[in-house]
Amino acid sequence: MAQLDDLDRQLISALRADGREPVTTLAKRLGVSRATVTSRIDRLVDSGVVLGFTVRVREEAEVDQLRAISLISVEGRSTNAVIHELRGLPEVHALYSTNGGWDLVAELRVSSLQDFDHLLGDIRSVEGVLNSETSILLSSMLR
């Protein structure tokens, strides 16, 4: 993976804010040439640092989507098997390993409370999952 310098980090930050910002505007803001910005973006993509460009949708626009965070405790050495199973659930939008009292944190997205209830049952039935605690996300204060 590419070694990131300060310019790379500034460029990534700018692209996170607006992935469609013109190269010319980025170059002016960062105080470098357009060719430098273009070559940095190409290098970041080619090296796998930048995985892609996407669209962010205002949460209010996705009114039919229920989001939640699930904290998951895993039995001993079954972490890899549990991760494999959870990654196969399409409602698991993101999955993180963590430290502390919980082993995994999953970001969940479903379209109804019935789907949410079903998903919680699916998660709890994965062999190796000892316990989980899930909270529905109500509104975003910072994103």
Predicted local confidence at residue 18, as pLDDT: 86
DSSP 3-state assignment of 50?
coil
| CB of 86 closer than 8 Å to CB of 55 | no
| CB of 75 closer than 8 Å to CB of 85 | no
143 pLDDT tier (thresholds 50, 70, 90)? low
For the stretch 101-111, what's the b/e string if a residue is b when 16 or more beta carbons lie within 10 angstroms of its beta carbon?
A: ebbbebebbbe
Whether the full predicted model's pTM is greater than 0.85, yes or no, is no
Q: CB neighbours of 31 closer than 8 A, spacing ≥ 6? A: none
Q: CB neighbours of 78 closer than 8 A, spacing ≥ 6? A: 127, 128
Predicted local confidence at residue 57, as pLDDT: 65
List, in order of start, the domains of the chain with CATH numbers.
Answer: 6-46 (1.10.10.10), 59-136 (3.30.70.920)
Predicted local confidence at residue 122, as pLDDT: 96
pLDDT digit string, tens, across residues 91-114:
999 999 999 899 999 999 999 999
Q: Is the pLDDT of residue 64 over 90?
A: no
Q: What percent of the chain has pLDDT over 70?
A: 91
pLDDT digit string, tens, across residues 87-96:
999 999 999 9
The half-sphere exposure of 107 on its side-chain side, counting CA atoms within 13 A, is 6
Average pLDDT over all residues of the chain: 90
Predicted local confidence at residue 53, as pLDDT: 82
pLDDT digit string, tens, across residues 9-57:
899 988 888 889 999 999 999 999 999 999 999 999 999 998 888 777 6
